[in-house]
Amino acid sequence: MEILRLPVLDDNYVFLLFDPATKTAAVVDPAVHAPVLEALADRDATLVTIFNTHHHGDHVGANAKLRAQFPDVEIYASEADRGRIPGQTVALNEGDRVSFAGYEAEVFFVPGHTRGHIAYYFAPQANPAGNLETGDLETGELFCGDTLFAGGCGRLFEGTPAQMLDSLSKFRSLPDSTRVWCAHEYTESNLRFALTVDGKNRALSDRAIAVRAMRSRGESTVPSTIGLEKETNPFMRWDDLAIQALLETSDPVRAFAKLRGRKDMF
């Protein structure tokens, strides 16, 4: 399986999963249709699946147009988002399994940014066709929408700090090598904030320097990895003693709420 990153709008990423063996594709959170259709045409691919993480327009905006072009496309989204996802055909809950081209993903229910947010996790697995030299998923692949960002997390539009902490805890237990495909390029400003609450973290300051250089060259900082986020993202470090001391609380939910509040004002 190949994963393509399509930069769209101001700072969104649409991800296209392409299986060369079957010439089929899936798309994660299609904000707009034109670049998706172009990428499909370039590969002579048929779109069979849309994976939506949540109902916001910059994640579902192209569902209808893509469905018009590919009437058999399956549109996966959260059970809790029923009625808010254009063309939804399958409603998903925590622990459900979905597949694309024989590759299997697990669904995590991760409310916080919105009340119905879900994420899709492909654990490392062999190429299901088994007869190609490439196509194995050697690392896990996490499509997490607007829940976890590189260096940050989504705003709490419909959920509580306790819910978001619980959602991010699910990601924290994934293997460190898991790649994090988040839906926006927010990393540079996220890390500027992170330095205000975790400035003595050497891994964080090194990352901030590297990311600034990458962005000045116009490079993408996505995907990240779970390991890097656990080391440098304050929203994955609510139990870090230095951060808790700065926030004057040892309660994880209070620490997380204070962090999110500071970021909202940043």
Catalytic, 58? Answer yes
Residue 77 CB, nearest distance to Zn ion (Å)?
13
CB nearer Zn ion, residue 127 or residue 190 = 190
CB nearer Zn ion, residue 54 or residue 170 = 54
Length of the chain: 266
Site for Zn ion, rule CB under 5 A: 56, 146
Residue 112 CB, nearest distance to Zn ion (Å)?
11
Catalytic, 166? Answer no
Please tell me which residue in 33, 55, 117, 184 is annotated as part of the active site: 184
The closest alpha carbon to 148, from 191, 193, 96, 183, belongs to 183
Catalytic, 146? Answer yes
CB nearer Zn ion, residue 153 or residue 191 = 153
Catalytic, 33? Answer no
Q: How far apart are CA 193 and CA 82, in angstroms?
A: 35
Please tell me which residue in 59, 81, 117, 198 is annotated as part of the active site: 59
Please tell me which residue in 33, 54, 55, 117 is annotated as part of the active site: 54
Structural tokens at position 200: 């003595």
Please tell me which residue in 33, 55, 113, 117 is annotated as part of the active site: 113
CB nearer Zn ion, residue 146 or residue 229 = 146
Catalytic, 54? Answer yes
Question: Are 28 and 120 contacting, i.e. CB atoms less than 8 angstroms apart?
Answer: yes
Question: Are 154 and 113 contacting, i.e. CB atoms less than 8 angstroms apart?
Answer: yes
Residue 146 CB, nearest distance to Zn ion (Å)?
4
Residue 55 CB, nearest distance to Zn ion (Å)?
8
Residue 141 CB, nearest distance to Zn ion (Å)?
20
CB nearer Zn ion, residue 55 or residue 258 = 55
Specify the residue for token string 């959260």. 78
Active site residues: 54, 56, 58-59, 113, 146, 184
